Amino acid sequence: MDKLTIRQPDDWHLHVRTGSILKTVIGHTAKQFGRAIIMPNLKPPVTTVAQALLYRQEILAALPRESKFQPLMTLYLTASTSVEEIKKVADAEHVRAFKLYPAGATTNSDAGVADIEAAYPLFAAMEQYGVPLLLHGEVTDAEYDIFDREKLFIDNKLSKLTRQFPALRIVLEHLTTQEAVQFVEAASENIAATITPQHLLYNRNAILAGGIRPHFYCLPILKREHHRQALIKAATSGNPKFFLGTDSAPHLTGLKENSCGCAGCYSAHAALELYAEAFEQVGALDKLEGFASFYGADFYGLPRNCASVTLEKQAWIVPEAYANTDDTITPLRAGESLAWRLVAA
């Protein structure tokens, strides 16, 4: 196959930051996707509907004039989130969910939830008003190995949460383990998951073999090969519980290539091309449209997009970096060749 046309997809997990970084990256997403769920972990975090709508206006103002891309906003769940704010989300056209970051789990998560059980009254309200909960599914206790944090979150936190709130709609974001796949497969239809391109294409050797490679460092961290194989199987299975969420996370190059080594892979520049590569590797390009364009919209109760996009088998070299007023942003696969290229949208 040398050409693939699919219904225009959506990105159900995206970071675009703010200010100059937003202006640098938003066009990459808008040329491919009809909609995207926008993460709220700014500094300070987006915690109210009013703040989310202002952030949405900033995103819309940064888009190319002809773009029809629609940002779908989320709120950052904190210990001070109120039931009244949950009601506002349920009534807000452009705000779709709450995002739970365990405190200290990833970039800008210090304001996150330290005690998940203390948030149970909020989950009860979200269940009542039909507001989805998006989870960064990792424990953060220092004694736990970083490669075990997702599994332990499922065993110690998520299993209990789903029993306590069986009607709560949950998206377990950026799956990384076989155990997470098995949990989602066995759970009720209210539980779904997103999978990133980096977790489909790479295992932890990409970060560590031959030297530290910071642009492959993300959280949850890349895992062993058998976990990657489980993710590939889930993404290409046609199971509507699994859908596209890039977790594309732009950082300035200087913040990735220093002692901080900020977590996050920037993939929005070539998201569909990267997913196409992963699906083609296992002979499953026919499954890409459902994963990318159908299942996420269905889970969120939104209409599928009417437009289409076309990929062609046409090799191209990913730029070494994208210019930004403060520095550059180094993309995933910088300077390397990709076999697929988006040619029409």
269 is in an annotated binding site: no
CB atoms closer than 10 angstroms to residue 207 = 18
Tokens describing residue 111: 């304001």
263 is in an annotated binding site: yes
Residue 248: is it exposed, middle or buried by C-beta count within 10 angstroms (0-12/13-18/19+)? buried
Tokens describing residue 71: 């940002």
99 is in an annotated binding site: yes
Coil, strand, or helix at residue 112? coil
Q: What does the DSSP 8-state code read for residue 279?
A: H
CB 316 within 8 A of CB 341: yes
Q: What does the DSSP 8-state code read for residue 131?
A: -
Coil, strand, or helix at residue 192? strand
Among 219, 217, 224, smallest CA distance to 259 is for 217
174 is in an annotated binding site: yes
17 is in an annotated binding site: yes
326 is in an annotated binding site: no
16 is in an annotated binding site: yes
Residue 38's beta-bridge partner residues?
14, 73
Residue 10: active-site member = no
**Active-site choice (10, 247, 286, 327):** 247
Coil, strand, or helix at residue 5? strand
251 is in an annotated binding site: yes
Contacts (Cβ under 8 Å, ≥6 apart) of 345: 8, 31, 32, 307, 309, 310
Numbered residues of the known binding site: 13, 15-17, 41, 99, 136, 174, 219, 247, 251, 263
Numbered residues of the known binding site for substrate: 15-17, 41, 136, 219, 251, 263
Numbered residues of the known binding site for Zn(2+): 13, 15, 99, 136, 174, 247
What amino acid positions are annotated as catalytic residues?
Answer: 247
